[in-house]
Structure 1
């Protein structure tokens, strides 16, 4: 039995990441594409020989689940509509443009409570689906018994032709989400975060994890294009150290795992550990960090 999944969005990530993964997953029937740009939706749908839907509600009539490749500001209202129809949601990260939107999506509004309680939700934190990252967290980090850690991300992701919303929000609300999430996974639930720096330049984070653990992260996503990308996470403890560079850890295999797990969760009605509640936890951390950054300008 296959799970029918529609794709909301027809931009670069939809075309280069989501659509190929949905089309190639054995457990998924790619139901079609909807976008606020009808021509873009038609073009992407034609590439994969699936329907292009004229309206979001029409797509919901033809699928069990929706994968979102839309800007964060657009996602909460669309995902809430899907949840109201008991359609599962694969959410982009961050799950919203701000904390209010994330809280609405995760359950502050009556309709969005459906997302949290009755409908499968999953967040596309792609690093976490990579085999190398899972081995790192499950074996190397456990062996190190970490008491603290560091992260360093150097990227050109926002240096030139990034979508306007990504360039506007800066590194924290882009790949910064993945860094915070992985430190959270490696060192335990993050209770507090502090930030300083330039929201659209270099920023530093200090994270306090439950259990008396601490980590620090330095992030830059406007590096020159010829500078090698780095996404290094390293933890330290009585068992030694454990390091991984996530810039080399993700790819088609991670995306394939992500959509396969989503299809399995939808088919069997099982919650996923990286669900909308986890997305809300990360959004709260991002909001606290962004507040510090804006106050320091």
Structure 2
């Protein structure tokens, strides 16, 4: 487990931020500016006024063009729709910039493969913001699961995000919970139950979709996903069953402020050492491959 208690002995990584929506303002800009491992070097967004609003609290520069942002930083963080991210991140990788990517890393499998190919050809560091995986409680759950004899699992990721508000965005409404919540649940099932060999889906991802995963170790897991249900609070829960006691991951009481220092430290460490961690773009591609299995039927 990464320790953020030790002093940071390197220069802060200068990170440019692409995007200026609620997630960029509420998480990425704030977390990157908090340091000491990183500093917010600049912000670029399609709407200049939103970029200014995002950059101003931290005294960061506002870039007039994406290429201008690349000139001011050594790494780029993205908080934009998947299709936009895949295009711009590919350009950033070719420019030699380390990448902090959102999930999913692209809108479709072909774009995800092209992005990962560009990252590997350029030899740049990458990391994916799979929020749960940076929380200490999640890591304890995954570690405990690695020592358990798991036969099967069930998961439930539900929210009302698509019913209105800041996250009822066009790409989420078009593609639904599979593309938005799918990376989270498939990542957790793959990490805790065992490597997924096959996943099938039933239902409408814009309303409710059920996933059935077959794992290489013989276990079977199922997951219910929806972003369109009227729930007072979001549900993100994974339950593992086998020969030992039940193991449960439940995000309802997690304070995600504990995730961000871990994410920031691990990304900056990867940049300074030149070595990506487990949750890199290749991990994002694996999750995109599993999602494509569902879409293809």
TM-score, normalised on structure 1? Answer: 0.92
1:6 and 2:16 aligned: yes
* Superposition deviation, residue 18 in structure 1: 0.6
CA-based RMSD: 1.4
What is aligned with 1:258?
263
What is aligned with 2:287?
282
CA distance in 2, matches of 1:120, 1:250: 28
What is aligned with 1:90?
100
What is aligned with 1:142?
146
CA distance in 2, matches of 1:249, 1:114: 38
**Partner of 2:107: helix, strand, or coil?**
coil
CA distance in 2, matches of 1:213, 1:179: 16
What is aligned with 1:295?
none
* Superposition deviation, residue 143 in structure 1: 4.3
CA distance in 1, matches of 2:255, 2:74: 27
Pairs within 5 Å for 1:69-218: 69-107=79-117, 111-114=118-121, 118-139=123-144, 141-161=145-165, 162-218=168-224
CA distance in 2, matches of 1:153, 1:248: 15
What is aligned with 1:21?
31
Deviations 1:240-289 (A, max 9, x none): 21011124335122122112210111011112101111100100111111
* Superposition deviation, residue 3 in structure 1: 0.8
Tell me if structure 1 keeps the 8 A contact 2:202–2:210.
yes
Tell me if structure 2 keeps the 8 A contact 1:144–1:235.
no
What is aligned with 1:238?
243
Deviations 1:98-156 (A, max 9, x none): 1111011011xxx44435xx1100111011001110111112x2343212211012211
Pairs within 5 Å for 1:54-69: 54-69=64-79
1:42 and 2:17 aligned: no
Which runs of 4 or more aligned residues in structure 1 lie more than 4 Å from their structure 2 counterparts after TM superposition?
A: none
- The structure-2 alpha-carbon separation of the partners of 1:288 and 1:250, relative to structure 1 and needing over 3 Å to count, comes to farther
Deviations 1:130-184 (A, max 9, x none): 1110111112x23432122110122112221211111211011112210111001
CA distance in 2, matches of 1:129, 1:112: 22
What is aligned with 2:234?
229
Q: Which runs of 5+ in 1 are unaligned?
A: 293-297
CA distance in 2, matches of 1:193, 1:25: 39
Tell me if structure 1 keeps the 8 A contact 2:119–2:125.
no
Tell me if structure 1 keeps the 8 A contact 2:160–2:230.
yes
CA distance in 1, matches of 2:294, 2:264: 30
CA distance in 2, matches of 1:250, 1:142: 24
TM-score, normalised on structure 2? Answer: 0.92
**Partner of 1:254: helix, strand, or coil?**
helix
What is aligned with 1:273?
278
